[in-house]
Amino acid sequence: MRILAIETSCDETAVALLSGEGDVLRLEKSIIRSQIDLHETYGGVVPEVAAREHLQLMMPLLHQALADGDATTKGEDIDAIAVTAGPGLAPALRVGVETAKALAWAWQKPLVPVCHLEGHIYASWLASEVPQFPALALIVSGGHTELVLMKDHGTFERLGETLDDAAGEAFDKVAKMLGLGYPGGPKVAQLAETGNVKAFDFPRAMLDRDTFEFSFAGVKTAVLYTLRKHEDRLADPQFKADIAASFQEAVVDVLTHKTLKAIHKVKPATVILAGGVAANLALRSRLQAVCQAVGVRLFVPELVHAMDNAAMIAVAGYFRALKGDFVDPISLQADPNMDIV
């Protein structure tokens, strides 16, 4: 089966082509155009600006993905079209969804709506070895932080999620406070490399509670108060690096601690780290150490597949297509609040 996938949920326009036979997948093309430069001037993603850019990039990217020599396929060799239907920014999502609908209708091909979070989990299927079920997934992105138990393809149970900010969101906000700009996560992570993780004792919310819920609003506010208290040190690069390192340490502590708790409770065969924050090296290595200590294999996507991309949407779409999870192209609507369960 050959899948064409489209992803436009936030500020990456992405198109991918993937072939699959049983459990054997082959990623043929994965094209990602980031809009970072465009949104940097606004200090964050502006939904309407993102949508306009998706519109401009969509046809050239499709042409690039589907071109065979000079000719573009008319869809004869595509078996299904997968698209991110949500969650995400409504105007941005609509571009991908309406494009996928039009192609499915014109080519008369089945259409598979994919949840963006499910896509992030499936990024771990883009490697030669893949997770076993039941798999425990820690999803950490700009909009979501949750622990999900994946019992089989397409079968999810949420164990807990953040009650306020997502981990990525906290990284982005702290970056703003430190004057690092957008997108914040990678910049905070980079600055943290030269900082002391013990310089500030930031709160680790809900650590001892017997639930799998998270809260990152407290640590973000604690950073703000610390910056206000030490206004005179703001020009000191070491001070900022110490803040970044101590903040990152608090977030990584909570994420790994809760994941370990979930491992003890649900005893998964494998653990999956998913979402943009999976690009964080401190989180990757700490979670790796924790999983190794308890003898559970951790799957972490390659960096290029950790951030938003269409390859992961193609994989999720492929496994849904195998089960015939198709929708009528006339009725599909983008769903900004779409959930994995």
**Please, which residues bridge with residue 115 across strands?**
86
The closest residue (CB) to ligand KG4 is 276
Q: How many helices (H) and strands (E) does the chain have?
A: 11, 12
CB nearer to ligand KG4: pick between 187 and 261: 187
Q: Which among 146, 129, 131, 116 has a CA at the least distance from the CA of 312?
A: 116
Provide the mask over 10-49, with x wherever binding to ligand KG4 is found by CB under 6 A and - wherever it is not: x---------------------------------------
Find the binding residues for Zn ion in span 117-146 (CB under 5 A): 141
Helices (H), 9-131: 36-40, 47-66, 90-107, 116-122
183 binds ligand KG4 (CB under 6 A): yes
184 binds ligand KG4 (CB under 6 A): yes
- Crossing angle of helices 217-229/237-266, nearest 10°? 160
Least distance in angstroms from the C-beta of 309 to Zn ion:
9
**Cβ contact 6:100 at 8 Å:** yes
Least distance in angstroms from the C-beta of 126 to ligand KG4:
15
Least distance in angstroms from the C-beta of 152 to Zn ion:
23
d(CA 11, CA 32): 10
**Cβ contact 306:140 at 8 Å:** no
Tokens of 13: 């326009």
Q: Which stretch binds ligand KG4 (CB under 6 A): 16-24, 199-207, 231-239, 272-280?
A: 272-280
Q: Which stretch binds ligand KG4 (CB under 6 A): 52-60, 67-75, 196-204, 274-282?
A: 274-282
How far from chain centre, in Å, is Cα 152?
A: 20
308 binds Zn ion (CB under 5 A): yes
d(CA 143, CA 92): 15
Least distance in angstroms from the C-beta of 110 to ligand KG4:
25
Contacts with ligand KG4 by CB under 6 A lie at 10, 141-143, 168-169, 171-172, 183-186, 189, 275-277, 279-280, 307-308
Contacts with Zn ion by CB under 5 A lie at 141, 308
